[in-house]
Amino acid sequence: MKRNCTLLLFLFLTLAATLTSCKDFEGEQTVPSYIRIDTLGLVCDYYTYGANTHNFVDAWVYVDDDVKGCFELPTTIPILKQGKHKVAVYAGIAVNGIKNARADYPFTAPVIYSELNLVPDSVVTLTPMVTYWPQGPDENTHVRWMEDFDSGTITMETTSQSDVPMIRTGGPLAWHDPDGVYSTYSAKFVLNSDTLQFCYANSEEFTDLPTKGSPCMLEMDYKCSDTCAVGIYYRLDYTITQEALVRLKPTCAPGEEPVEWHKIYINLGPYFVDYEDADYFKVYLSSWFNRHDGEQYFYFDNLKIIYNDR
């Protein structure tokens, strides 16, 4: 019930923000100025925030602190103002990979143009590069856990339910950072008719994640030739429960080695509220071999849990 209420509130706020792109005339101006945004980028320190992978699909735009709306990228936005104005651009995501569940990403700061000159019937092109909000003892944003499979110690392990081990793989099919400096390995699983299931869980028991409704997300890069699940384990009243949160669709044809990486943001916050009395949580990845047309392949990288304790 709490999750349904949270989702309804989220969708209402998203719709309200989207419909707020109203015609705010400035004096006698009737011809709009235009802001063009093709993409949003991400800049971050690898050792603090992990790889700078992202999938920002929207720009949430404010002019003089008034919301103009949520705009799918690429976009050209008409603004009925002219002269110098404050423009703020927030990164937007598809929550849980659902196209109709859009939100501004709460862990990245907006790019602010304090005096952007708007000219009627002219286009100003922006190329915003967002950053994560700062971390630290006096800050509200925290990266609780990261796993990119590049260190000597891997913080995830296969469970007793798994028929296959995780393969730490490099080479051209692994995820590589653009500079080729930080990331050269990824996790890989292969299923066939003799190995029917993999199940891979975080070996650490999370006991300090927010349970009072604060934003909490799992970021992850993946590619796969069959459906797989991302979910949580939790122990409550001496019972361990496994619950799937998101099912990832295949990113290539069955039996092919997947090439294109995809990024997803999975909303964990509502589940921690529902199970706030749980002793601990774990993240898991799993799939069953359910296609009989050759081997099926699954790759994962750049897993990260990030939350805000405001």
- pLDDT exceeds cutoff 50 at 1: no
Give the number of domains in the chain: 2
* Mean pLDDT along residues 113-139: 94
Mark whether 179 and 257 lie in a shared domain: yes
- Domain of 46 in residue numbering reads as 2-132
Residues 75 and 214 in one domain: no
The answer, yes or no, to whether residue 58 has pLDDT greater than 70, is: yes
Q: Is residue 178 part of a domain?
A: yes
Lowest-confidence region among 38-52, 163-177, 251-265, 286-300: 286-300
200/240 same-domain check: yes
CA–CA separation, 100 vs 151, rounded Å? Answer: 37
Residue 290 structure tokens: 């359910």
Does 261 lie in the same domain as 176?
yes
User: Do residue 76 and residue 150 come from a single domain?
Assistant: no
Query: Do 303 and 168 reside in the same domain of the chain?
Result: yes
Please indicate, yes or no, whether residues 237 and 279 belong to a single structural domain of this protein.
yes
- Single residue among 89, 108, 132 that ends a domain in this structure: 132
User: Do 276 and 192 belong together in one domain?
Assistant: yes
Contacts 24+ apart (CB under 8 A), 18-23: 18/69, 18/70, 19/69, 20/67, 20/68, 20/69, 21/68, 21/69, 21/71, 21/77, 23/80
What is residue 293's predicted lDDT score, i.e. its pLDDT? 67
125 and 274 belong to one structural domain: no
Percent above pLDDT 90 for the chain = 73
Task: Assess whether pLDDT exceeds 50 at residue 23.
Answer: no
Q: Which of 132, 159, 184 is the last residue of a domain?
A: 132
Tell which of 98, 132, 166 closes a domain.
Answer: 132
Q: What is the pLDDT of residue 2?
A: 41
Residue 98 in this model has a pLDDT that exceeds 70 = yes
3-state secondary structure of 83: strand
Question: Can you tell me the distance from the alpha carbon of 213 to that of 215, in angstroms, rounded to the nearest whole number?
Answer: 6
123 inside domain = yes
What pLDDT is recorded for position 203?
83
My answer on whether 148 and 124 are in the same domain is: no
> CB neighbours of 208 closer than 8 A, spacing ≥ 6?
144
Residue 188's pLDDT band, with cuts at 50, 70 and 90, is: very high
- pLDDT (average), residues 159-184: 89
Residues 171 and 75 in one domain: no
- Which is higher by pLDDT, 262 or 30? 262
Indicate whether 154 and 101 sit together in one domain.
no
Assign 10 a pLDDT band (cuts: 50, 70, 90): very low
**Domain annotation covers residue 137:** no
Tell me whether residue 113 is in a domain. yes
CATH, residue 93:
2.60.40
* Domain at 275, CATH number: 2.60.120.200
Q: Is the C-alpha dihedral spanning 30, 33, 36, 41 positive or negative?
A: negative
As a whole number, mean pLDDT of residues 33-46 equals 96
Residue 11 lies in a domain: yes
Residue 14 confidence (pLDDT) above 70: no
Q: Is the pLDDT of residue 83 over 90?
A: yes
User: Residue 95: inside a domain, yes or no?
Assistant: yes
Residue 50 in tokens: 């992990």
